[in-house]
Structure formats: structure tokens, C-alpha cells
Chain A
Amino acid sequence: MMTMTANAPSENPRGFPCRKLFFLTKLTAILLVCLCLQVHATGNAQEKINLKLRETTLKHLLNEVEKQTMYRFVYHTGTLPDDRKIDINVTNADLAQVLAKAFAGLPLNYRLQEDNLVVIFSTDKTSADKASPERKVSGKVTGANDTPLSGVSVLVSGTGIGTTTNASGDYSLQVPDDAKTLDFSLVGYLGQKISINDQLVINVTMQTTATSLGEVVVTGYTNYTRNKSASAAITVGSDKINDVPVATFDQALQGRVAGLTVSAVSGQPGTSSRVILRGIGSIGGNNNVLYVMDGVPIESDFFQSINPGDIESITVLKDASAKAIYGSRGSNGVIVITTKKGKAGKLSLEYRSQYGVSTLTSTKFDMMNSAQRKMFEEGIGQETGAEAGPFWTYSKLNPDYATMTAAQKQRADDITDSLLGVNTDWRDLFMRDGSFMEQQISASGGNQNIRFYTSLNYFDQQGVVKVSGMKRYTLKNNLDFSYGKFAANINLNIGYSNSTLIQNEGGSGGQNPLSAVYYALPYEYPYAPDGKLVTTGDGTLYPTLDLREGSDSYERMLNSSKKQDQLKSILGMSLSYTLAKGLVAKTRLGVDYRDLTSEDWINADSYAGTRVTPGRLGSFGESITRRTSLVSTSGLTYNNIFAEDHELEVTGLFEYLNNKTRAFGYTGYGLDSRLPQTPAAIGAPSTYTPTLTGRRTQNSMASWIGLLRYTYNDKYTLNASYRYDGSSTLPEVNRWHGFYSAGLSWEAKKESFLENVDAISNLRFRASYGTTASPFPGDFTYLPTYTQTSYGGVSAIAPAQPGNPNYDWEYGSELNIGFDLGLFKNRVRLTAEYYNRVTSNLFINQPLSATSGFGSLNISSGEMRNRGVEFDLQGDIIKTKDLVWTLGGNMAYNKNEVLDLGGANEFEFQYTGIIRVGLPYGAHYAPKWAGVNPDNGDPQYYTPDGQITTTYNAATLSVTDFGTYIPLITGGINTSLTWKDFSFNALFVFNAIVNRYNNEDYFNENPSFITSNQSTRLLYDRWQKPGDNSILPRINAPRNYTSRDIQDASYIRLRNINLGYNVPKSVIDKWKFINGIQINLQAQNLLTWTKWRGFDPENGNEYARFSYPAPRTYVVGLNVNF
């Protein structure tokens, strides 16, 4: 640290900063050492000062001292005389010597306070305004549960006089007599302005910025206080994220932010959710939200290795004035994640432990049991003669029965009886109650120079389907360093996760345990009486009458594995240096590295293994993907206040981003069964030809960024940005493009006509407009290219993609208007937004005639609009000392419409949809079901003009009356109740006006699959005889896709309830080293109200096809603070 005692400033004006740069690099090395050592340094400056100045002002002199030392000077405006010129020449002097010389002959004195703060005050008693008598104000600042808050900045409003709280939350401050108010602020907490009046002790309790009225809008490039930002941004605090028993943080955002739709695509532990902000903005392009963690953009869909417990807050940037800062990457919204940072004060340790169990959510399961199956098979047999199963083969109703001998008849009856005696619930075999466990220990602390946060986390969740689960180990280390004008941050996140997945998730085949649960026959049981697991392959040795469909799938599940090992490391390093007052140079380097190893194994020594060709002896495959994303951002920020009322902040940045992916994989066959789950088992390549794959690709982007904020009188703020982006993913002619945004914010409460209206405690309006864009997904899609292929084992080439030399960016523009309203001392808080977002030059995957040799061509032409409103209302219904009850909710309504398709009128889209001008994205397109003809059981359909027909023709009958799979309305309702040491929280989430294609019904009510188990509707509700008013047609009618399969997927779900208990201080005080103990009980997905017939309405896909349902999880947790 002594290197900081710098030599005398050189005469050469350039010399000084250069040496500082060298100093920065040195410091980096020191920081890295600190990272390992966790030095708990103390800040007690004993520095020597060298000064040689002529005709300088006192202000400049103090600035020079600040540059050389850790001292910081505070003084009242006007205290220092501007006209006084001083000469000074000292070497190795200490502060007292320097100031004695500087103040010689002036009515000035100073006081050295803790944390190297030097307060300069006038001693001129005759001057009223310069020499207000001071008095000492002290107090304690606490957060939730009376925990002391350290590092809180306490400032006399409108002056530079201030201090920070120490580790026990205490502060004391010399306050000029004329001071009226004190400002208390801390990142992550709502700032407070407290009137001093005649008080000498002011204690303050601060609230976290968990509400939509949060204090700071973190955009990743800038931090603006909310009253100086025109952004529609919502911050979710750590209390909503840290304790929720989910593997990835995105799931914890569900229902918290109006306009943010988070739906679990799969309930498999560790799977990322589908996150959409303000509707789908692109058809063929990118719809992913951009995630930025501590300034480093991170990959979406790979959050398994990030510990939600390390997150301090998540800010969702919704409007163009915030998104446009990200130019071509932010068009679908930006989620800025801020991780926990160390706070100055004494070392704080926290231990968190959670244990729980996950179970299947829905018990809705209307497949046939054995008795129903008997009725069904006999019914089908009588109606059509088809052999749906042994209940017909051996049925008394079968015409063959009459031709049997008495002995044969007896045998047939015995078979029927014994089959009826078996009633397997396949859920018991494939599924389980999975255990859940999480352990975390974290430490934080530091002083004003170095602050650290470190955590270790272990997470282990078993899935509700046997074999599936995830284990995660994470290490987080945040180190903040500040020293005078220099500040740095090193942010390290290392996560290793190990997931075990089910085979073929979402597939309709028997390898998917979740489809087998439906298909498997109730009179089938996998084990023979001797304990052998009987498969199809056992044939005559273990004769069975059923199809062994469930057993084959079960055997496969037990003899195969699908694993993913992920190593993820996110490293961020930022340096900033104050070049001059208000002028800060910043540079940041971020690396997001992912190494994903996927492994697939099928046991050679199993029936499933014999089904593998080539080799018929199982298979082992492994693939390794490495993705490295590097971002570097550098630039300058200038911030100053002119003439008291004009606050200006200007930032200029250059950013470079590069993503590299390389992958390699193989699958080997002919395994030696004695070597399970290893490539060493692979048979000789000459006999069992292995397959090899691999690829590498990259993209990069360069950007110039300019940001501006101007605030007048703390009331009116202008935010503006310009960004000029170049992307490697576009053809050279269209490679560079500029984006801009502008926003206005108005603090109406500060106007004189509202200042004295007590009912309104806060009123703020904002409006913004801006442009964004996204480049084409895929690295080189614009090029027509050829790729390697082969014929008969000889290499060949074939066209890979048609290319399009005219690709341009996909442009977005967005208007946002909103307001924040606080009533009755902010006990009622309302935020509302209206937006209109138009995507033009829309990327469309236009289907082509097969004669072109390609299925589709990506074109950029077309227009789509998302328009909507969002509300967030929170209220403290009861607020007394012992009882606090808050209730809140948020709701978003988004209407999407395709405005133009670049000439084409419409095209079929995805599975059941259509993209048509005038309709919303995701509109279902199907022939309209007209029920069953009661006379003959024919399936009937409506023609588009309303006639009933029995001739199915998807091309001519399909209409679009069935809504979309993107919910029109989404939202959440939250409530919390605190009574003494108890707290209770609940969160409901809902989706309304949404329809999905139930593909499970397609398979479970289908004559093509009558030998597999079917829904009870196919037994009870199918047409059997004239006059039947049935839901399903006769069994021998074609099973066509119609509006019958499109079903209401609206739901309301009790996402999370949490009951907490803080062990009272009186109990804890017995153990000196413990500061707090909290015990909580949680349930995730406890209740769901829905009409949906499948496993889970939530899964955000267009269709539901045997996907993994989100589990219900019960957790008990313990938090101990030391």
C-alpha cells in the first residue's frame, strides 16, 4: 500500500496520468492478491504529502491533497475564499503541516473525522452565513428486523457535509445550525430525507428498494436515481429471490414484474424458463431478453450455475429509453442483475439451510384403469372387430369364445380375471417425491476502501421423475475497492452444476417417461413374480399379454442416463478513475465462459441397449460445448451541477463484444457392459462405427455509445442516448446502424401546487421514445453456403442455407408513457405504464415452395406491433408497530398484431399456428370442430361460412377463432403480513385469455393408439350407437386436428407461500456470537386453479406434449446471522 505515497508531481503535465495508469495495472495485481487473501484492511491514513504550487487557490490545493492521499475534504459552499492565492512548497509533510500553511491567516479550521474525512469550517464568528454554529447530531440506522446498516451515507441536504454509518449502524455528524434536513442513502434502500428540527438524536429505519418505487435505476451503464430517470424500470429485491426454492433466478421473477411473462418450459430441475417482456417482438428473429449481470452480458437459458442467493436485486428495463442504451441487443428488454456486494463494517456471516420435498402438482389423471380398459377393449372389439388388447381376445363377447373348448374358456376367464386384478398406477413407478436441499454460507464486510462479499452454495434438487435432478456448487466473490479517486471492482462467479435429465423430454415416444405414464396399460406390471423386470425382449420366456410398453420404457429409464455437467464462470472487472471533478474514466472487462459436457449412455446389458443400432450393445455419447463471451466497455462520464439547478451527466463509451462457440462430440457403440458410463467401454471403431460432430463459430459487435442526462431543478429530467452498432452477423452493406432514445421525467410532487398536498406523497410522470434493433440470429445467415455431407460413406457437399444478401437489422421503436403515484405517506403506491412497440423490417421465416430446394427463406420485411398497459399497485393496509399487512398486485395487458408481412398475406407457423396480417402472433389455426353427428358418429367440422361438413380439409376449413398461446393478460398478486416476530408472504400468479394445443389429447384420444392406454373420454364419451350425444366420434373415424384440441390454459396458481419466524432477541442474546435466527416454511406451487386437462398449464409452449410438469415443493429453512 505504501506505493501510494507518490513522488512529487512531475513538471510534465502528461507524466502524472501516465504513471497513474501504470499504477492501475499494479493495483489490479494487488486486487487479485486481495481476492485470495481477503485482507481485512483498516483505513487510517498516515500519509506524507508533497506539494509545490504557486498562486493556487485553496480549492485546488485541497484537490491535489485528495489526489495524493486518502483524505477527503468537506466544507460548506462559500467557506473557502475564492480570491485567495497561495504558494506552498512542502515535502513529506503530514496533513496538519499542510493545512496549517494553507489556512495561515484565514478564519478556517478543520476537524479530522473517522474514515479520513476532513471537515473544514469557518471560525469567523462575525460572518453569519459562513459561520453558523454547529451541533452534533447522532443516531442509528437500521434495516429490516432492526439489523444495523453500515455504510449508509448521511448528508446534510444541499451541502457536501456528511459521513457514513459504522458497522453498528451509528453515525454522528456536525450539522450547521441552518441545516434543515438530512439525506440518508444506501444502494438497495429507499433514500430518506429527515427533518432535523431541534433533534440531536435521529434514528432511521430504511426500507429496501423492493417496490416499484425503488430508488435507483441500474441500467448496467449508468445508475440514475429514479426521480431522474425516464425509464419504466422495476426492481425486484433480494428478499423476493434469495429464499425461493428454485434452481434458477428467472423462476423467482414470475408474477413480480408487470409485463414480464415467465413460464417454466419444463419442471425438470435446472431448466430455464421462457421469459418474454411486453409480448413477442419478432417472428423469425430473436425474442430473448438480454441479461446483464454486474455489467457483463450473460447467456440466456444457462442459469443453472448461478446461485440466486447471491443476487442483491434484479432490475427489469422495459422501455426504449433504457433499452436503447443496449442498442441492437436490448430490443426485447433488459434484465440487469446486481449481485451482493460487501458493506463496510464488521464481518458479517450468514448461514442458510433449506430442506424440502418436491411432489407432483396435479392429480388430474383420467386414463383408464383395468376395469375401464376391459370395457373399452370389448367395446372396440364389438364395434369393429379390432383387437385392442387381451380383454377382447379372451372376452366372452368375442365370437371366437363360442368356438373354444370348455378348458380354453376356463383359461380365457382366468386370464381376464387376473388382468383385472392388476391395476398399475405408473406414476408410482416413474415418479417420486424428490428431496430438496440447499446450504449456503456467506461472509461480507470491509471498510471504506475494500469491501468483500463471498459465498459458497450447495444446491441439490431431485426431480419428481426418478433419475432426474440437479446438484450445484457455486462460489461467489465480489470485491470492491476504492481509494480516493480510484475505484475498482472484481466480480467472480464460478458455478458447477451437474444435471441428470430424463430421456426424450417432450417426445411422444415411449422413451419419454412422461409419455409412458400415460400410454402404459393399467393391467401391465413390469416385474414378474420372480422379481425379473420383463421387457418385450424376454418373449416366450416370460410370456405377457400386454404390450410391455410401460415396462420397456421403465427398463430404459433404469438403464440409461442423460447428464449435463456445466462449468460456468462469469468474471467482471471494472476500474474507474476520477480524472477531474465530475469526470470519471471507466473501463470494464467481462467474460462469460461456459463449458457444457453432455453425456448420454444406454447400458449394453439391457433390453434398451439391444435396441441401439449399430451394435445392439448400448451407446455412449458425449459432447462438449465451450462458449466464451467477452465484452469490453471503456469511456468517460462527466457529471456536474451548473448554477445550482442544472445537473448534467454525459457519458461516452466504446464497447466491443465477441462470442465464440466451439463444440465437439461423439457417440460410440458396442459397449462393454462391465464399463458403465465411460467412453472406455466403446467397441472397436472398425466394427462399431462411431459418429463424430463438431463446429466452431463466432460473432462480434462493436458499438459507440453516447448517454446524456440533464436535470433541471430536481424536477425535470431529460434522458437521451445514441448508439452506433456494427455487427458481424449482417452483410457489409447493412453492417452499421445507429439507435437513439429520448425520455422526459417530471417530478410533479415537487411543484409548488402539490408540495403541500399531504395526501399525495409522490407523483412522477415519464415519457420516452426510442429505437432499438436486433441483428439476425445465427452468425452467418446472410451468406448462401454449402456444407459437408456424404453419400454411401463418401464425402459430398450440399447447400446449407439459401442466404439473403439483403439482410438488414430488425428495427424496433417504442413509446412509453407512465407515472408513479404515492398516496398517504406512500402507503399506497401505484405505477402505471402504457407502451406502443412496433417492430419493423421484421424477420420472417417465409415458407417456400419445396421446388426451391429449401423449406423456408429468412427475409427481413414486415411489421408487428405490441401495445399494452401495465399496473402495479401496492398498499400497506395495516401499519402498526407490531402488525404490518401489505397487499399488492400487478397486471399487464398486451395486444399483439401483425401489421405487414412484406407482400405475403399469411403463412402457417409452428405447429398449429398462422401468421396473418391483422392477427396476433401465436394465433391458432384449425378447422372448427362441430361436434359429433348423433346419427352415425361422424366427426363434423364447420366450413368457414358456418356450414357443417364431414369432409376434413385442413387447407380449406381452418379458421383463426381460437385465440393465441401467448397470454393476453398476465400478472401476480402478493401479500405479506408481519406480526411481531412472525411473517407471512404469499404470491399468486395468473395467466388469462390464453389457449394452447393439447397434443396429449391428440395421442390419448386417438384410434391409432388404441392398443396403448387412452383417456377415459374415449371409453365413456365416444359415439357408439345412433342417438349418442357424445364428445368423441365413432372409433373408426379419422382423428383429425381441430379446435377441439385447442384448450383454455388460463390459470391462477399459488406460486409461493412463506411463513417466517424471527427468533426473538431475548432468546438469541444467550449466544453472544449470533445476531439473528430466522426459521421459515415455504410451499411452492401449492394450489392451481385451471380448466386445463394436461399435467401443467404453465409451460409456455404452443403445444403441450408430455412435458415435465412444474413440481410442488415444500421447504423448511433456517437462516442464522453471526
Chain B
Amino acid sequence: MRKINNFYKSLTLGISVVALGVVSCNKQIDLLPTDTIDPSKAFKTVKDINAGLLGAYNKLNYYSNVFYTSRITDEVMLPSENSTGSGVATYRWQYDGSFVHDAWPDNYIAIDRANRVLAVVDDIEAKPAEVVLKDQYKGELLAIRAYCHFELIRNFAEKYEAGKMGVPYMEVSEVGSPERLSFEAVMVKINADLVAAKALIPASFDDRTRITRNAVSAIQARVALYEKNWDNAITYASEAITAVALASRTDFPKIWKDQTNNEVLWKLKRVASDPETPLGNLYTQAGFLTNPAGSRIYYAASNELTNLFDQANDIRFSSYIIIDPQRKADGKIPNAVIKYTGGDAANPNRVDIKLFRSGEMYLIRSEAYAEKNDLVSAATSLNSLRRTRISGYVDQAFATKDALITALQTERFKELAFEGHRHYDLRRWNLPITRNPDDAVNALGAVLLTPDKAQYVFPIPNSELKANKNIKQNPGY
């Protein structure tokens, strides 16, 4: 033993000490995440389907629709006191290359979330008590998919006409470079998903912060309106109207304070901890009503719109707009949009986002009747709505279709003001965007935008054009 060379003895020892340390260390690099969920564990039960479905609801973004519709149209005017620069270029119908309408990415993300759950939903076993629930979730997922595609086509279709470019329709979650389908092809798929959804969602389900069967009817009615399928529009609007009545004049203001669900067919629930900018911040600083003279108005209600209302008798006016006397006296723009200022003093401007109301259904039905030249039924629907909204209203008769349509256009402007419809309505009617001179002080000349101009339709974001070689830009850009 003694003859063993000291050197090798030591070397052996050194190596064995090191090796000892290694054995325990090798396993240490097999790590798994603690903060994220493995896809294999993501969906196992019906409860998980609901979690995935709510994940899709989470991404529904109506904020950008309201934002861009207001900015681009004659709903609002830009007061000098808005120094944020936010949306100012859109208001002046100027887009730079970095313009991204959030509706593009956000709706596709929501669709992807829905598609991922739809891909596994049929494989998940439901206990007998859960069978109905599972169907309902699947129905909601299909409806979300249809709804999001509809939002995309409203914003980005070249035109709402057969043969014009629509948007890609995603039915599975995948990485690819899909082409734009034609407008009508997209509408066929939307309708198919909605029909399937409606069959799955039970009538008893009445959570209006999610898609109920009545909400599907409402979506179908709106879709029919855009594809000018007047019969469907009448059928589905009537279904929705029958199920959910208009709110009374007493209840109407409460809709906007989230104090009633009357008249609401579907709304997106918002809570204090949500990261999204409160909807009311599009128009005024939070807490505007507590200190109008000491708050900024970012975008004021246009004089054009303000003057359309019977300000004394129309419950919609006082629910949507305030003309603040102090601000007027101070020489500031007084017309503030207060539709989304909310009822919670601690969390002003954050309110649920109302996506579908019966009021719109009356207008859809009326327009569909008018287009079918059934002026009497059309007038009935219109008068019913006005009568509910305007105190002392006397029913009107309309001699011609044109007169009725003109009245309907004005009524839609007032009823659905600041709810993200004006731009699409003008596009449906092929009407230019016009601004009154007193609403265009800071518009730097943006007073008339005709449908032949590129800016009349939102561009597909440049980032998409770069990433997807099969996508085509809207004309003129």
C-alpha cells in the first residue's frame, strides 16, 4: 500500500470527492415550472372548459371599437384641452405606418383561445349532471368565435358586399398565413357557428355577462343587418325583443350605472381589478362629474349630435351627455359624454361594456321592415322605441321609405351614440363622414371623408402584412 504513489492516491481521492457532488447535481437540472399550467393538465374537467371559456371572454375587447368609432366619426369633437394626443391623428383621418387597431390582434387572440378549448371539449367526459353545462360552454365558445369574426369583418372588410375582401376565418388554433376570405364566405361561417351555438345553449341560462341564447339571437340579428338579409334580421331581432324588453324611462339611466340588467342582452363584466383602461376615460377624466370645471374633457360630444336630441324630454340625452354650465361660463367646451362615468364613486369611468341592447333590436327590425318596404311595421318599431325614450312623444307616420330610412339613421345615431356603431352604420349606408364647422375647430380641415377614400376603412395593421404574406391590404393604403 505504501508504494502507491502519493500523486495517484490524491488524484483518485479528488475525483471521487467531485463525483460525489455530481450525482446529486445532475437531477437538479430537471426542473418544471411552478407558475404556469402544463397543457396536459389544462383541460380535464367540465370546470376546466369553463375556465378556458372565461379566458376567451377575458380577451374580448370592445374598448377599441368605441375608441376608434368615436374618433373617426362625427360623434365627438376635439377640445383644445386634450393635450394627450391620443387618437388625434385618427380624428384627423391620418394614419401613420404604426397604426394598429387593437380589434385585429385582440379578436384573433380570443378566437384562438376559444378554438383551443373547442379542440378538446368533445373529448372531455361530463358527468350526467354536467352534460347540459358542457353543451352550454361549447355553445358559448362557438358564439364567441362567430362574434369575434363579426367584429373583425365590421372593422376590416373592404366593403360589406359580396365579392369584397373579408377577413381570415379561424376554425382551429394554428400558426399559419391564412388569406382573407370574401365578405360573404365569412358571413356563411359566422351564421353556421351561431346556429350551432344557439342549439347548444339552454334557454334557462340567463347570465347576461355571458352569451345567452337571447344574446345569440341578437348577434344573429346584427349579422343579418350587415349582410342585408332583412328576413333574418326581422326574425332574430323579434326573438331578442320578445325575450328582453326595453327599459323604462326610470330604468334607462340605471343601465349605464350597472344598476339594472333591464334591456341588456349581453354585456362585458368589468371589475375594479381589470387592467383595461376604463371605458369612460375615452371621453373625460375619471371623476368628471364631481368636479367638471377641474377636469379635462378629452373628446366632447359633438354639437351635431347634441343638437339632435330633444334635450328636455329624451331620457337618452341626460343619460349620455351633460352640458355643464360652469364650464360654459369658464369658456370651456361644455358638452361632456357621461355615458360611462359609472355609479361607483371610488372607481369612476369603469363600467360594464354593453354590447347588445333591445333598443338596437328595435332599430334593426325597423330598418329591415323599411328595406322590405313594410313602412307600417317599420314605423311601429321606431315609434315604440321613441315612445319609451322620449317623454310626451307622439307617434309619427312616414310617407316614404326614404323619409323613414333618414329618420332611422338619425335615431340610430342618437340611440347608439358612443357605443361603437356610427362608423359601421355609415359604411353600411355608404354615407360620408361629415363634421359641422363648430365641431371641427381642431380637426385641421378634416370635415368630409367620402367612402372612396382609403381612410374611410381601417387599414390591416402593417405588422400583419409583414408576418402573413397571404394577406392583402385594403385598397388605397
Contact = CB atoms under 8 A, between A and B. Distances in A.
B424 to A, nearest CB: 20
B14 to A, nearest CB: 4
Contact of B35 (A384, A385, A611, A697): A697
Sorting the interface of chain A by its residue count into under 10, 10 to 19, 20 to 34 or 35 or more gives: 35 or more
Interface in A1-60: 12-14, 17, 21
A519 interface: yes
Interface string B239-261: 00000000000000000000000
A796 B54 contact: yes
A1009 B177 CA distance: 38
Contacts of A387: 80, 441-442
Nearest to B462: A955
Given A700-B29, A795-B54, A853-B173, A611 B285 contact: yes
A735 B26 CA distance: 12
Given A580-B10, A787-B36, A850-B464, A952 B96 contact: yes
B contact residues, range: 35 or more
Contacts of B31: 698-700, 728, 779-780
Contacts of B330: 539-540, 543
A672 to B, nearest CB: 14
Contact of A853 (B108, B273, B344, B464): B108
B111 interface: yes
A537 B294 contact: yes
A888 B20 CA distance: 51
A634 interface: yes
B420 interface: no
Given A849-B471, A1038-B92, A539 B294 contact: yes
Given A579-B11, A696-B34, A797-B55, A702 B26 contact: yes
B371 interface: no
Contacts of A537: 291, 294-295
Interface in B286-301: 286-287, 291-296
Contacts of A1008: 85, 88-89, 92
B25 A786 contact: no
Given A793-B273, A1011-B80, A955 B97 contact: yes
A907 interface: yes
B54 A1011 contact: no
Interface stretch (B312-320, B346-354, B397-405): B346-354
B168 interface: yes
A580 B273 CA distance: 67
B129 interface: no
A784 to B, nearest CB: 5
B71 to A, nearest CB: 12
B455 to A, nearest CB: 10
A1040 B89 CA distance: 10
Nearest to B175: A852
Interface stretch (A71-79, A282-290, A687-695, A1022-1030): A687-695
Contacts of B123: none
Given A613-B347, A793-B269, A798-B55, A547 B29 contact: no
Interface string A769-803: 00000000001100111110111111111111110
Given A614-B347, A852-B112, A1040-B96, A728 B175 contact: no
A585 to B, nearest CB: 5
B468 A851 contact: yes
B394 interface: no
A635 B22 CA distance: 11
B347 to A, nearest CB: 4
B97 A1040 contact: yes
A920 to B, nearest CB: 19
B1 A802 contact: no
Interface string A533-557: 0011111110100010100000000
A1006 B94 CA distance: 12
A160 interface: no
Contact of A615 (B10, B170, B346): B346
Contacts of B362: none
B52 interface: yes
Interface stretch (B37-45, B189-197, B216-224, B426-434): B37-45
Contacts of B162: none
Contacts, number: 328
A1041 B98 contact: yes
Interface string A639-660: 0000000000000111010100
B326 interface: yes
Interface in B174-217: 174-178, 209
A695 B273 CA distance: 18
B97 A787 contact: no
A360 B286 CA distance: 36
Nearest to A736: B29
Contacts of B30: 728, 732
A579 B18 CA distance: 14
B21 A783 contact: no
A478 to B, nearest CB: 26
A328 B101 CA distance: 41
A1012 B296 CA distance: 14
B85 A852 contact: no
Interface in A686-736: 687-689, 691, 695-702, 726-728, 732, 735
A240 interface: no
B113 A536 contact: no
B59 interface: yes
Contacts of A700: 28-29, 31
A849 B178 contact: yes
A702 B29 contact: yes
A1060 interface: no
Contact of A13 (B1, B25, B444): B1
A1039 B94 contact: yes
Contact of A953 (B2, B56, B461, B477): B477
A855 B105 contact: yes
Interface in A576-597: 579-581, 583, 585
Nearest to A1038: B94
Contacts of A780: 31-33, 36
A109 interface: no
B220 to A, nearest CB: 23
A579 B10 contact: yes
A75 B84 CA distance: 83
A614 B271 CA distance: 10
Contacts of B468: 849, 851
Interface string A727-753: 110001001000000000000000000
A632 B467 contact: no
A848 interface: yes
B34 to A, nearest CB: 6
B63 to A, nearest CB: 15
Interface of B: 1-2, 4, 6-7, 9-11, 13-15, 17-18, 21-22, 25-26, 28-39, 42, 48, 51-59, 80-85, 88-89, 92, 94-98, 104-105, 108-109, 111-113, 115-116, 168, 170, 173-178, 209, 268-273, 278, 285-287, 291-296, 326, 329-331, 344-350, 441-442, 444-445, 461-468, 471, 473, 477
25 contacts: A384-B445, A539-B294, A539-B330, A543-B330, A547-B80, A547-B81, A580-B6, A615-B347, A669-B346, A688-B272, A700-B31, A727-B29, A779-B31, A789-B55, A793-B271, A798-B55, A798-B58, A801-B36, A849-B468, A851-B176, A855-B463, A952-B96, A1003-B85, A1009-B83, A1040-B94
Interface of A: 12-14, 17, 21, 384-389, 393, 509-510, 519, 535-541, 543, 547, 549, 579-581, 583, 585, 610-611, 613-616, 632, 634-636, 638, 652-654, 656, 658, 669-670, 687-689, 691, 695-702, 726-728, 732, 735, 779-780, 783-787, 789-802, 847-855, 857, 906-908, 927, 952-955, 958, 1003, 1006-1009, 1011-1012, 1035-1036, 1038-1041
Given A583-B7, A850-B109, 9 more contacts: A580-B6, A687-B346, A691-B273, A726-B26, A793-B273, A853-B173, A907-B466, A927-B97, A954-B96
